[in-house]
Homo-oligomer: A and B are copies of this chain.
Amino acid sequence: MGELLIYGSVALDSLRTPFGERERVLGGSGLYASLAAALFVKSSLFSAIGEDFPKEHLDLLKEQGVSLDFLVQVAGERTFFWRGYYEYDMNVAHTEETQLNVLAHPPPLGALPERWAPYGLLLANMDPEHQLAVLRRCQPKFVAADTMNLWIETKRGALLELLARCHLFFCNEGEARALTEEVNLLRAARQIQKMGPPSVVIKKGEHGALLLSEDRVFLLPAYPLETAQDPTGAGDSFAGAACGYLCYVKSLDDDALRRALLLGTVAASFTVSDFSVTGLLSLTQRELLARYLELRELTSVPELTL
């Protein structure tokens, strides 16, 4: 059994960025998160795919240490498909086409074993009603979740119910503002914290992230890449690596959270350095650690006396 169960989308993405284009490549929130988490723990991906999902992709995921025991291939269905593009401001994804396909259905809960509690559960971006259904089925010690603007607008009730049961919640700047109607990010984080999760991470893309945990704040930068080729999956890799590390150390104390988020931003920097999941595939713990130490040095503030 995996130490971290990840529920999220598995997608085939057709996308273009200023640096190139790719057709029907691996994508999806759950998939990026699982690959990143697998750097630290056994990560099990819970999701559904269609008949059209290429077998070589499955082999690749297994090679990378992602458990596919709960990945359900549904006959007569097609895999979730997304087509979009990014302009030079790669913080903004422009969607041209979304086909929910197999993900239009509720999660195949029957594929999960009865009376099984993974240590951690990461609910990557999905319909919050489906996220809640997965959460109710498991009894994890640690619950993290991500969301998107669509659900804040259309499924606020379910999202609030989910928030009340999370330990760690990830959102980006726009989502934090939409959820709280608060422009200031620190105030937004405090409001989200009141909705349930003791730890709130607001992701700011190339500008890094803000963590509010209990009453402590941590400001972390993004790794300063000179060339980002494809931002797809950056946030999911961030959450996946962070939760993978937290389940590996089985701690949510402040230092563990800081290390987890910095590892998350480092994993995300590898993700965006190439298209689709390519940047994550050859990644080792040694490379992650080297970039962690580099980023630690880039933000190190000397002591001061006046």
A238 to chain B, nearest CB (A): 16
User: A301 near B: Cβ within 8 Å?
Assistant: yes
A300 to B206, CA, bound (A): 19
Chain B residue contacts of A219, Cβ below 8 A: 208, 221, 224, 298-299
User: A110 near B: Cβ within 8 Å?
Assistant: no
User: A184 near B: Cβ within 8 Å?
Assistant: yes
Are B306 and A288 interface neighbours, CB within 8 A? yes
Are A217 and B304 interface neighbours, CB within 8 A? no
Q: Which of B89, B186, B289 contacts A224 (CB 8 A)?
A: B186
A299 to B261, CA, bound (A): 12
Indicate whether A210 sits within 8 Å of B224 (C-beta atoms), given known contacts A255-B302, A293-B304, A306-B289.
yes
Chain B residue contacts of A221, Cβ below 8 A: 208, 219, 221
Interface positions, chain A 248-306, Cβ under 8 Å from B, are 255, 258-259, 262-263, 285, 288-289, 292-293, 295-296, 298-306
A301 to B219, CA, bound (A): 10
> Top 6 A-B pairs ranked by shortest CB distance?
A207-B207, A219-B221, A296-B301, A255-B302, A186-B224, A88-B183
A76 to chain B, nearest CB (A): 44
A292 to B258, CA, bound (A): 19
Chain B residue contacts of A186, Cβ below 8 A: 224-226
For A88, A184, A210, A304, the residue with the greatest tally of chain B CB atoms inside 10 Å of its CB is A304
Indicate whether A220 sits within 8 Å of B301 (C-beta atoms), given known contacts A204-B207, A207-B204, A289-B306.
yes
Interface positions, chain A 195-221, Cβ under 8 Å from B, are 204, 206-208, 210, 217-221
A75 to B300, CA, bound (A): 51
User: A194 near B: Cβ within 8 Å?
Assistant: no
A263 to B224, CA, bound (A): 22
User: A187 near B: Cβ within 8 Å?
Assistant: yes
A105 to B190, CA, bound (A): 50
Chain B residue contacts of A288, Cβ below 8 A: 306
A236 to chain B, nearest CB (A): 21
Chain B residue contacts of A218, Cβ below 8 A: 298-299
Q: Which of B184, B208, B259, B302 contacts A302 (CB 8 A)?
A: B259
Q: Which of B185, B299, B303 contacts A220 (CB 8 A)?
A: B299
Interface positions, chain A 2-49, Cβ under 8 Å from B, are none
A134 to chain B, nearest CB (A): 29
Are B302 and A258 interface neighbours, CB within 8 A? yes
24 A-B pairs within 8 Å (CB atoms) are namely: A184-B225, A184-B226, A184-B227, A185-B206, A186-B224, A207-B208, A208-B219, A208-B221, A218-B298, A219-B221, A219-B224, A219-B299, A220-B301, A255-B302, A258-B301, A259-B304, A262-B301, A289-B305, A289-B306, A292-B304, A296-B301, A296-B304, A299-B301, A300-B301
